[in-house]
Amino acid sequence: MKAEFKRAWGYKGNNLALPVANLEDALPFYEKIMGFQVLSRSDSLYKSAILGRDEIQIGLAENGGDPTQDGSCFEVSDVESAFAELRANGLTKEISNFNNEQHGDTLWKVFYVVAPDGLCYWLGEKQKSQAAQEHS
């Protein structure tokens, strides 16, 4: 089963202007490994592209920002399927334990991917609360 990418939000608030040093060098990772498609490109202020997958969009831009200090969170329908898909697409990240992280009232099962361009991605699946698990 293929995981659905449901929501995206940037670490610094804007997931449509994630900084990369070289757009052409960055795109193959997102297309081949992450499963995104290029939806649009621009050369107006700087080279940039909007990429889409399932219900989300991200943007990569040669905007002078530091990619090692930015990235995006992706809510996925099934975090283990997402990891398996990325591995099948050629992701070389070693299997590590999935982590549980509490954010507000929500418990997430997560893993991280750092792209070759330096951007970091958090992929997470919402987990049932302990109370909900006890009632099911």
> How far is residue 10 from each of residues 14, 89, 119, 135, measured CA to CA in Å?
5, 24, 11, 34
CATH H-level superfamily of 5-135: 2,3-Dihydroxybiphenyl 1,2-Dioxygenase, domain 1 (3.10.180.10)
Over residues 82-95, mean pLDDT: 87
Q: Is the pLDDT of residue 135 over 60?
A: no
For the stretch 17-57, pLDDT in tens is: 999 999 999 999 999 999 999 999 999 889 999 999 999 99
Q: Where are the domains of the chain?
A: 5-135
Over residues 94-106, mean pLDDT: 83
Q: Is the pLDDT of residue 82 over 80?
A: yes
Reported as a pLDDT band with limits 50, 70 and 90, residue 133 is very low
User: For position 130, what pLDDT does the model report?
Assistant: 56
Secondary structure of residue 18 in the 3-state scheme: strand
Reported as a pLDDT band with limits 50, 70 and 90, residue 136 is very low
DSSP one-letter string for 98-119:
PEEEEETTEEEEEEEEE-TTS-
Which positions ≥6 away from 28 have C-beta within 8 Å? none
pTM for this prediction: 0.89
Q: Is the pLDDT of residue 134 over 50?
A: no
> How far is residue 44 from each of residues 17, 108, 136, measured CA to CA in Å?
14, 38, 53
